[in-house]
Structure 1
Amino acid sequence: MGVRKNILITGASAGLGEQMARDFAARGRNLALCARRLDRLQALRDELLAAHPGITVAVRELDVTDHPRVFEVFEAFRADLGRLDRVVVNAGGGKGRPIGTGGFDTNLHSARTNFVAALAQCEAAVQIFRDQRHGHLVMISSMSAMRGLPRGMTTYAAAKAGVAALAEGVRADLLGTPVKVTTVFPGYIVSEANPAARPKPLMVSTERGVRAMVRAIERERAQAQVPAWPWAPLGFMMRHAPLRAVARFS
């Protein structure tokens, strides 16, 4: 397969998804952008078309926890662009509460948003790719998926680990076919979508972090920790270090 010309990105109205749209537009790609905030998507579409008048940008409102709507929107985008070459399953959120402290509703919402909704997006995308007999599924996980994490990160980390396992299972199912699957594990990247997150060591700007994500996506490898330095070696450490050390680092 040559250049992935038509790219669908969920959660594109802010944060990493919005910046990915800018980076892919700068590469001359056509975009299908969806999120809950249609006004933000329309403003982004206008910005991208002004900067890159040769591309096509389609936008649609979508709450990814509305599962039937996910399938409808993905098919509508396919009709808009003629085909979908790449789908980036990016929509999600990081809110959570320590387990057993009365925050079940918050944690349930996190699990539904970060895993169950990702499953719906994955199903819709791969259904299209199987029919087209080509495509590239990109699942945005997190470095949090490397280990179980404490406090408010517990459910989020578990959901993102589920996303990574889901992607690996789909990859195994599609080995030897023209459909490729990439799992991206972002490290600490500043994101408008999570403005309350406290600053962390090793945190990089949205622009720098997303540049690394887009480079990794374009390579179409099975997995990528981004930015590669220091997150590739830190990923090894997180998987093998004593749990007490991992909990302290998180």
Structure 2
Amino acid sequence: MRKTILITGASSGLGAGMAREFAKRGHNLALCARRTERLDELKSELLGRYPDIKISVMALDVNDHDKVFEVFKAFKTEFGSLDRVIVNAGMGKGASLGTGYFYANLQTAQTNFVAAIAQCEAALEIFREQNDGHLVTISSISALRGMPRAMTVYAATKAGLSALTEGIRADLIRSRSPIKTTTICPGFIRSEINEKVKNTPFMVDTETGCRAMVNAIEREPVSAYVPRWPWAIIGFLMKRLPLKWVMKLG
């Protein structure tokens, strides 16, 4: 069992949902996010339910790259080791390119991809020192194809994150490292990032979606669509259907 799990972006949405599910299963948690008041509330909630686990929280804006390394190392020192790091922090701002919203598209690109590189670097430094660990990146079903409107840059960053994780895996295989990697591609799971989106097919609530994510993560596959039904089938089709059909999901 990978006892101690670090989750970024853990103050709300899928991060908080995964924290609740891992706590239920007896894992120790290292939780970080920008909104520390929410982290404190989550820590109190979980310790009230599961007093036998250990939970530590720290403030972290993943776009402060030096701070990413500092916080990850501090968690490692506190717990003695980190068994799994989940690169979850992200955002979904954006609009069609050329419509005056470069600032929003840039923020999404920096948070979802550049900051993810920092998180992967920091995690892998620790894992290489330990010669063990499980790196999990939270990508998206949208990573499979280009998407329109507000999803354009978001989907591109998630495609980049999936490719980054596969490249890391290739490097680890080449060096015969025992470190594992997993890319999780969630379908439509209700969270703060999509709370204003209405009438979306196959949308599941946060608790159901996070349970499916944690089930997949615990299996440690190379990659997984979650919930598996219907997203494994939709993912297969998305790679093959004409773009004019696929973009209706965006």
- Relative to the length of structure 1, the TM-score reads 0.98
Q: Which runs of 5+ in 2 are unaligned?
A: none
Aligned to 1:246: 246
Aligned to 2:3: 5
Residues in 2 aligned to 1:226 and 1:16: alpha-carbon distance in whole angstroms = 12
Aligned to 1:169: 167
Residues in 2 aligned to 1:121 and 1:249: alpha-carbon distance in whole angstroms = 29
Instruction: Give the letter aligned to residue 192 of structure 1.
Output: E
2:64 is aligned with 1:49: no
Structure 1 SS opposite 2:192? coil
Counterpart mapping for 1:180-191 below 5 A: 180-191=180-191
Query: Is the CA contact 1:14–1:193 (under 8 Å) kept in the aligned structure 2?
Result: no
Residues in 1 aligned to 2:203 and 2:33: alpha-carbon distance in whole angstroms = 25
Q: Offset of 1:4 from its aligned partner?
A: 0.3
Aligned to 2:70: 72
Deviations 1:106-160 (A, max 9, x none): 1000100110111110000011100110000000000010000011100000000
Q: Offset of 1:179 from its aligned partner?
A: 0.3
Deviations 1:6-40 (A, max 9, x none): 00000000000001001000111000000000010
Instruction: Give the letter aligned to residue 151 of structure 1.
Output: R
Structure 1 SS opposite 2:200? coil
Q: Offset of 1:215 from its aligned partner?
A: 0.5
Q: Offset of 1:60 from its aligned partner?
A: 0.2
Structural RMSD (CA): 0.8
Query: Is the CA contact 1:93–1:194 (under 8 Å) kept in the aligned structure 2?
Result: no
Structure 2 SS opposite 1:7? strand
Q: Offset of 1:193 from its aligned partner?
A: 4.2
Query: Is the CA contact 2:2–2:84 (under 8 Å) kept in the aligned structure 1?
Result: yes
Instruction: Give the letter aligned to residue 104 of structure 1.
Output: F
Counterpart mapping for 1:142-181 below 5 A: 142-175=140-173, 176-181=176-181
Q: Offset of 1:248 from its aligned partner?
A: 2.0
Query: Is the CA contact 2:92–2:193 (under 8 Å) kept in the aligned structure 1?
Result: no
Residues in 1 aligned to 2:153 and 2:75: alpha-carbon distance in whole angstroms = 31
Deviations 1:204-225 (A, max 9, x none): 0101101110000000000000
2:247 is aligned with 1:229: no
Query: Is the CA contact 1:16–1:210 (under 8 Å) kept in the aligned structure 2?
Result: yes
Superposed structure 1 runs of 4+ greater than 6 Å apart: none
Counterpart mapping for 1:110-149 below 5 A: 110-149=108-147
Structure 2 SS opposite 1:174? helix
Q: Identity percentage over the alignment?
A: 60
- Relative to the length of structure 2, the TM-score reads 0.98
Of 55, 58, 61 in structure 2, the residue corresponding to residue 60 of structure 1 is 58
Residues in 2 aligned to 1:249 and 1:50: alpha-carbon distance in whole angstroms = 40
